[in-house]
Amino acid sequence: MKQLLCATFEGIDAKTVEVQFTATKGLPAFTIVGMANTAIAESKERVKSALLSNAFTFPPKRLTINLAPSDIRKEGSHFDLAVATLIALGEQKTELEGWYVFGELGLDGSVSENTLLYPIILSLANQGIITKAIVPANALNKLSRIPNIAFYGTSSLTQTLEILSNENQSAHVSTSTFSFPTLTHQENNYFYHQHYPLDFKEIKGQEHAKRAALICAAGMHNLLLEGSPGSGKSMIAKRLQHILPPLHNDEMLECAKLEILDGKEPSFTPERPFRAPHHTSTPSSIFGGGSHKAQIGEVGLAHGGILFFDELPHFSKNILEALREPLEDRHIRISRVNSKVIYAADFLFVAAMNPCPCGNLLSKATPCRCSDVEISRYRSRLSDPFLDRIDLFIQMHQSNAEDKTSYTSQQFHEKVRNAFLHQKGRGQVRLNGSLTDSEIGVFCVLGDETQKIIDQAIGRFGLSFRAVGRILKVARTIADLEGAENIDKEHLLEALSYRKR
């Protein structure tokens, strides 16, 4: 028996699959077993044509391909090349230990990539279980971004056999070649961009909201903006994406994986995702799901970036309440009869809402048309447990002719990068907004005076333990922006001012 390695998705993570081959005596037949989907079953005709088109003899025996383990569903046309290679090798003695082989075959034996290739190999790399792989030559430019894997490019079945007989042919050892500005801390490089297509200088006035946006970006804290129509809520939310903290190489690759899962060509830039689903979206599109297989949703695609809900109260009550889990636990669990999947959902949640159904409750120029009952019903769509997971609440005022431009996105981004280095300098793995309860006790230490202030706030406002933790994390970010080593009184008081009363 001969075997090569390939892989398939199990949920959103890749699982190694052993492609096993035997040729036994009996009536000529070609069988693929191991819970293969239609794309793999149809590969038999592509494999036969590719072999016969390249002067290979199709063995007149009973050929069996087994995809192990047999209890996992396999999908994807990238199994073609491994299957054809094993049949072409036949009885030859070739060392195949540790070889991963990926590629879709054409009828003439040419090799091409498919959409699953990059996310599968990236997932295997993140698990540390792949060191060398034969891949389509036209995918090398993309795959070479993934570190610690030796890739061998092939454009045909014949070339694949040459690589296996001589590993030095067509070798391409991957190296990361990012050419973005870099922050370095303890030999780790963090990349950022200096391109601001949407700039904070375009927002006049709203200094309080822009200050909150800066704090939000520096620590990845959840933000809720409330204000009349046209006050700049969406403008602030859309500009946040360009001032977020730098990304590590692994995080950039993860963002590229999410882009491919979303059907886009990966950009390999240090720009975090920005997802803004419409309020009519279904729960499955937001959180993921499907009848046969759990697909990733907007919450998962926003991992590492921003999830923006405009017109927040118009979202379904079920969606808002279900959002509480990923906001707290930084992951989400999708359970179906055929699959149960847990995927990371560590994102910055930003929301915008009007103060009432007509939007004019805070307006000085236009009277509000809503009754007290309508306003109460509108606000009651947001439950207290949901609001308890929001770090910064900002009520925006109407713009006027005297408002001026203040900070630019470039200035904000520089402040965010400095705060980022402060956080890494303390030995934090996560940014302030994602600190666990135990990490809060280590990195958000209070002095006697500041502890008295938080104790008074707990008694006066009835703060929950969750709310106290979020206040401390916001205060820690404010101190980082100011370059302070400790959380002082003014930092804590400013953090308290952003809590919803």
Instruction: Give the pLDDT mean for 443-452.
Output: 93
In this model, does residue 266 exceed pLDDT 60? yes
Dihedral of the CA atoms 127, 131, 136, 142 (nearest 10)?
60
CATH of domain 190-415: 3.40.50.300
The predicted-structure confidence for 49-85, as pLDDT tens digits, reads as follows: 999 988 888 888 899 999 999 888 898 899 999 999 9
Which letter does DSSP use for residue 192 in this model? -
What is the predicted pLDDT for the residue at 191? 94
Radius of gyration (C-alpha) of the chain in whole angstroms: 27
- Closest alpha carbon to 188 in 271, 247, 120: 247
- Closest alpha carbon to 264 in 272, 256, 275: 256
Locate 4 and state its tokens: 């090569």
CATH of domain 2-173: 3.30.230.10
CATH of domain 435-501: 1.10.8
* 6 band by pLDDT with thresholds 50, 70 and 90: very high
Give every CB contact of residue 80 below 8 A, 6+ residues apart in sequence. Answer: 43, 46, 47, 50, 103, 104, 105
What is the predicted pLDDT for the residue at 477? 97
- Quickly tell me which residue has 């042919």 as its tokens: 169
The predicted-structure confidence for 202-221, as pLDDT tens digits, reads as follows: 998 889 999 999 999 999 99
In this model, does residue 111 exceed pLDDT 80? yes
- Closest alpha carbon to 99 in 1, 34, 6, 173: 6
Cα–Cα distance for residue pair 478/419, rounded to 1 Å: 9
In this model, does residue 13 exceed pLDDT 60? yes
In this model, does residue 321 exceed pLDDT 60? yes
Each domain of the chain, given as residue ranges in start order, spans: 2-173, 190-415, 435-501
Q: What is the mean pLDDT of the chain?
A: 90
Run of H or E including 22:
strand 13-24
The predicted-structure confidence for 353-374, as pLDDT tens digits, reads as follows: 999 999 999 888 889 999 999 9
* 291 band by pLDDT with thresholds 50, 70 and 90: low
Instruction: Give the pLDDT mean for 262-283.
Output: 90
pLDDT > 70: percent of the chain: 95
Q: What is the value of pTM for the model shown?
A: 0.85
What is the predicted pLDDT for the residue at 91? 76
Instruction: Give the pLDDT mean for 156-184.
Output: 74
